[in-house]
Structure 1
């Protein structure tokens, strides 16, 4: 199975690539949108700001390719950190910016969502399942620790799209999903055994 990691100028490609290779994936760094049509599954990583991320995706021609391969062809997509946030309808980071609109919701700074702790949320934290039987959580115990680095969080419009939360001054989205589209706020590539298992589970879903 071949995995494309989108290179749009705002992702930590090396560590994501190594982690997928460790779980048996044939990894391609996608430098052009045409690559997405040649693979079995797609990963949208990301670090940085929502407006800049969406600008890079739009200018690079990635939005149309993602719409065609993910929404129409139903290829599984995993968004990581900023990549997860850009799945939303709108991001409110400095200036309100339209997202991909793949999963209904908005992205807001965590202190606007009730968090009274230090921003950013950085470090290991427990993840609590809302849908423990979901394929992404196979062989990963509830309340496992994952590694977070973020100041903004995804607030889903529909409760069924929220698969897991983490507690940091308030309840924040940790994993979202809709059909073949998945997003995790934490970094699975930095989350040791639990993170590797989640990537395996994403691969297993794609093989269904």
Structure 2
């Protein structure tokens, strides 16, 4: 088994790897870094994630998982603030309790000081853009750039529609009442 002591940059992908090799393939333990700065630390087998390993994302979140030849067997996503995603009983920021995780941990702000995002104070969104969670989205160019201004990706039609429908925007707009956003808690009575 050969151990790479310095990052070996992969010519076609722009990724790098530091760790164990066997027969010219990543095998054993290592650190695989993608061009987006997403980093995997853990086991490898025949060039694929294998065994226990963690994906670390540039925004501070991580995905801790058990892998079998590149496929996830079991995993857990943990947000940058420490909140762990629960697939079955996910009650975070739902229609019954709309608090952000930081409000759950540290309490609500006094009246008149609403918290708009989990990050407080929220990022300033450039005019004409949306904050899509990992960067800013320009709907005219369909380009998503990181908060540092670096290009991340082009949005496809599905992502564009989701961002425009869901995400915070960098301009004020009067929207009025939208009944589809309010869950009916009690039946309505007619007289």
Query: TM-score, structure 2 length as denominator?
Result: 0.24
User: Greater RCO between the two (CA within 8 Å, min separation 6)?
Assistant: 1
Query: TM-score, structure 1 length as denominator?
Result: 0.23
Q: Comparing both structures, which one devotes a greater share of its residues to helix?
A: 1
From the CA coordinates, give the structure whose radius of gyration is larger: 2
